[in-house]
């Protein structure tokens, strides 16, 4: 699959955690007025979560700190770094750690 690794959670009571950071799809998506962005870290790491518009313009940085191993989450309220609501549309959420950079599309409804 061209370098893409997929991990599936089995409901067997045991689960093998992924060996690399994972950015899950935000929920809800589409959203208004806010959404939760969840991610998994296989070890304690420095995390940067940044929101960009579809043209790649910086909107806001939600996280820029060290986070513990395991599942973590942050909420985006649809505002930019100045606290102003952004317009409806398609946005990109980027997770950057020491070992990975990944992104997901998000849709903010009017």
pLDDT in tens, 21-47: 999 999 999 999 999 999 999 999 999
Q: What pTM, to 2 d.p., does this model score?
A: 0.82
pLDDT in tens, 50-100: 999 999 999 999 999 999 999 999 999 999 999 999 999 999 999 999 989
Measured in whole angstroms, the distance separating CA 64 from the mean position of its chain's CA atoms is: 13
Query: What CA–CA distance (Å, rounded) separates 94 from 47?
Result: 10
- Fold of the 22-108 domain: Immunoglobulin-like (2.60.40)
> Do 80 and 110 touch, CB atoms closer than 8 A?
no
Sequence-distant (6+) residues with CB within 8 A of 41 are: 21, 47, 67, 68, 69, 70, 72, 97
Task: Pinpoint the alpha helices (H) of the chain.
Answer: none
> Do 59 and 81 touch, CB atoms closer than 8 A?
yes
């Amino acid at each position: 699959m061209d370098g893409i690794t997929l991990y599936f959670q089995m409901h067997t009571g045991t689960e093998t955690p992924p060996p690399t950071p994972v950015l899950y799809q935000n929920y809800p998506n589409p959203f208004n007025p806010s959404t939760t962005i969840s991610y998994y870290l296989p070890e304690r790491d420095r995390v940067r979560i940044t929101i960009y518009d579809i043209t790649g313009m910086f909107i806001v940085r939600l996280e820029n700190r060290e986070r513990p191993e395991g599942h973590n989450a942050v909420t985006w309220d649809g505002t930019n770094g100045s606290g102003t609501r952004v317009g409806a549309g398609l946005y990109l959420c980027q997770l950057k750690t020491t070992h990975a950079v990944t992104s997901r599309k998000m849709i903010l409804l009017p």
